[in-house]
Chains A and B, each alone.
Chain A
């Protein structure tokens, strides 16, 4: 009796394994669950197995999207490329393909890609051009014509784009020459100009104290000490001028980094001007 029940159990488990548990339908369900849980690597594995039995555009798009999300832009592009002529995913795949290229290519290469691209339709070209124009701002490129710059942006993004353009045009940089001149006139003033107020005051005090010591020793006819303090005062005076120039340079670098970060955050927020497909809404 016991061996018979064991054999039956074994058969049952085997049958479930062959046709039930690991069936393409179940793997698809499990893959979809993983995809929703954002476990993209495991979801891809499941979808690839299902694709061996049944190819469909939804699955291919999901695989491409999953690869894109985990940063495998090259592989993702291979899957998106196969969907360019799909009825339901064609337009979206082309946009996502362009987004992948935005990450893969340098700014110059991406600009050239957008200019020369023949796969873009009339409706999608504005999205890609918006991405190009805005990202070019953080790359240091500023088009002379603001209207031309804002033209491709959708109505809801135009105001933000204009703000970014204006900010790039007037970044609020501090002049290195002004910082140097201010510190030359009053030691430390250049530092105050670059928002390093306490450093400026310290510079002023150090140079002032050393200058006073030099003057006082000259008055008391202590020549060696007088010249020693004169040298030190001159050294710190020159160092302060140099420091003010460097402070202005650092201030400007900070502004540039902040601006680039703002652009990056904004692009993420608007999903790189690519509308989300119905699958992911």
Chain B
């Protein structure tokens, strides 16, 4: 009986130790993953979008890729320009961008009324500035959001 018990216990312990796979060293990549996926595509939906996407790609190529992802807002200023032209028209979009750029220059913007996005940036969506009723998102969608009529 004792021998039987010992055999069972030994077989259990041996089978417990043969599971080497779990203890193998894993190959870990320390390469920093690409977080921001910039799109260099040209928007050919109309002339204004073609113009703005060209301007944006030039900015990406000459400045943003070298300088890094430093805009304190989300969406970033370049994306804001593209989105605002898409949402409205070339003239209104350009005015919205001028206003955004001025606000970006404000050194004390943290004391203004921005909500903080989950990315840690100031949440400042295009829809708040289009002057269209029922589209305001004053808080990030990742937290609580509420649309206003």
Interface size class of B (residues with CB under 8 A): 20 to 34
Restricting to A135-173, which residues have a CB under 8 Å from any CB of B? Answer: 140
B103 contacts A by Cβ under 8 Å: yes
A74 contacts B by Cβ under 8 Å: no
A202 touching B106 in the complex, CB below 8 Å, given contacts A246-B131, A253-B136, A253-B138 = yes
Is there an interface contact between B108 and A198, defined as CB atoms closer than 8 Å? yes
A246 CA / B124 CA spacing, docked (Å): 12
A202 touching B102 in the complex, CB below 8 Å, given contacts A250-B138, A253-B138 = yes
- Nearest residue in A to B105 (C-beta to C-beta)? A202
A250 touching B128 in the complex, CB below 8 Å, given contacts A239-B95, A242-B96, A257-B138 = yes
A113 contacts B by Cβ under 8 Å: no
B99 contacts A by Cβ under 8 Å: yes
Partner of B99 from the list A242, A249, A256 (CB cut-off 8 Å) is A242
A198 CA / B109 CA spacing, docked (Å): 7
Is there an interface contact between A239 and B99, defined as CB atoms closer than 8 Å? yes
A250 CA / B96 CA spacing, docked (Å): 14
Known: A235-B98, A236-B101, A238-B98. 18 other contacts (CB 8 A): A140-B149, A196-B112, A199-B109, A202-B105, A202-B106, A236-B102, A239-B94, A239-B98, A242-B98, A243-B95, A243-B96, A243-B98, A243-B99, A246-B96, A246-B129, A249-B131, A250-B136, A256-B148
A240 contacts B by Cβ under 8 Å: yes
- Nearest residue in A to B131 (C-beta to C-beta)? A249
Partner of B98 from the list A140, A201, A240, A254 (CB cut-off 8 Å) is A240
A250 CA / B103 CA spacing, docked (Å): 15
Chain B residues near A (Cβ < 8 Å): 92, 94-99, 101-103, 105-109, 111-113, 128-129, 131, 136, 138, 146, 148-149
Residues of A contacting B92 in the complex (Cβ-Cβ under 8 angstroms): 242
A243 CA / B92 CA spacing, docked (Å): 11
Residues of B contacting A245 in the complex (Cβ-Cβ under 8 angstroms): 131
- A-B pairs with lowest CB-CB distance, top 8: A239-B98, A243-B99, A242-B95, A202-B106, A198-B108, A246-B129, A253-B148, A253-B136
Residues of B contacting A198 in the complex (Cβ-Cβ under 8 angstroms): 106-109, 111-112
- Nearest residue in B to A139 (C-beta to C-beta)? B149
**22 A-B pairs in the complex with CB atoms less than 8 angstroms apart:** A196-B113, A199-B102, A199-B103, A199-B106, A199-B109, A199-B112, A206-B102, A235-B94, A236-B102, A238-B95, A239-B97, A239-B98, A240-B98, A240-B102, A242-B92, A243-B129, A246-B131, A250-B128, A253-B128, A253-B138, A256-B148, A260-B146
A31 contacts B by Cβ under 8 Å: no
A203 contacts B by Cβ under 8 Å: yes
